[in-house]
Structure 1
Amino acid sequence: MRVNTVLGNLEDPGWASRQANAKVDYLVLDQWEAQKSRIRRTTEDGVEVALSLDRGVQLRDGDVLAWDEDAGTLVAARINLKDVMEIELAGLLGSAPETVIATCLELGHAVGNQHWPAVVKGTRVYVPLTVDKAVMGSVMKTHAFEGIEYGFRPGAEVIPYLAPHEARRLFGAAAREGEGHTHAVPQG
Structure 2
Amino acid sequence: MILVESVVGNEGDPIWKANLEGASIDALQLDQWQAQKNRFRRKTEAGVEVAVALERNTHLHDGDILAWDEANRSAIVARIQLQDVLVVRLDGVLGQSSDLLARTCVELGHALGNQHWPAVVKGSAVYVPLTVDRKVMASVMKTHAFVGITYEFQPGAEVIPFLAPHEARRLFGGADSTPHSHLPAADPARAHPHEHTHVDAEGRVTTHSHPHEVAGPDDHDHDHPHAS
Q: Distance in 2 between matches of 1:86 and 1:179?
A: 19
1:1-48 deviations in Å (ceiling 9; x for gaps): 110101111011111111103101111100000000111011111111
Does the 8 A contact of 1:26 with 1:43 survive in 2? yes
Match of 1:119 in 2: 120
What amino acid does structure 2 have at the position aligned with 1:60? H
Match of 2:158 in 1: 157
Percent identity over the alignment is 59
1:26 aligns with 2:35: no
What amino acid does structure 2 have at the position aligned with 1:108? G
1:75-132 deviations in Å (ceiling 9; x for gaps): 1111110111010110112100110011001101100111111011111110000001
Does the 8 A contact of 1:29 with 1:77 survive in 2? yes
**3-state DSSP of counterpart to 2:158:** helix
**3-state DSSP of counterpart to 2:7:** coil
TM-score computed with the length of structure 2 as normaliser: 0.77
Match of 2:179 in 1: 180
Match of 1:148 in 2: 149
Deviation at 1:178, TM superposition (A): 5.1
Match of 2:44 in 1: 43
**3-state DSSP of counterpart to 1:173:** coil
1:132 aligns with 2:133: yes
Deviation at 1:52, TM superposition (A): 0.5
Name structure 2 gaps, 5 residues minimum.
Answer: 187-228
Question: Which structure features the higher share of helix residues?
Answer: 1
Does the 8 A contact of 1:88 with 1:123 survive in 2? yes
What amino acid does structure 1 have at the position aligned with 2:89? E
Q: Distance in 2 between matches of 1:187 and 1:17?
A: 64
Question: Which structure features the higher share of strand residues?
Answer: 2
**3-state DSSP of counterpart to 1:20:** coil
Q: How many residue pairs were aligned? A: 185
Q: Distance in 2 between matches of 1:22 and 1:51?
A: 22
TM-score computed with the length of structure 1 as normaliser: 0.93
Name structure 1 gaps, 5 residues minimum.
Answer: none
Residue 89 to residue 178, structure 1, CA distance change in 2 (3 Å): closer
Deviation at 1:168, TM superposition (A): 0.2
CA-based RMSD of the aligned residues comes to 1.6
1:122-155 deviations in Å (ceiling 9; x for gaps): 1111000000111111211121100000111110
Match of 1:74 in 2: 75
Match of 2:11 in 1: 10
Q: Distance in 2 between matches of 1:57 and 1:172?
A: 14
Match of 1:91 in 2: 92
Does the 8 A contact of 2:118 with 2:178 survive in 1? no
Match of 1:170 in 2: 171
Does the 8 A contact of 1:117 with 1:173 survive in 2? no
Q: Distance in 2 between matches of 1:157 and 1:32?
A: 17
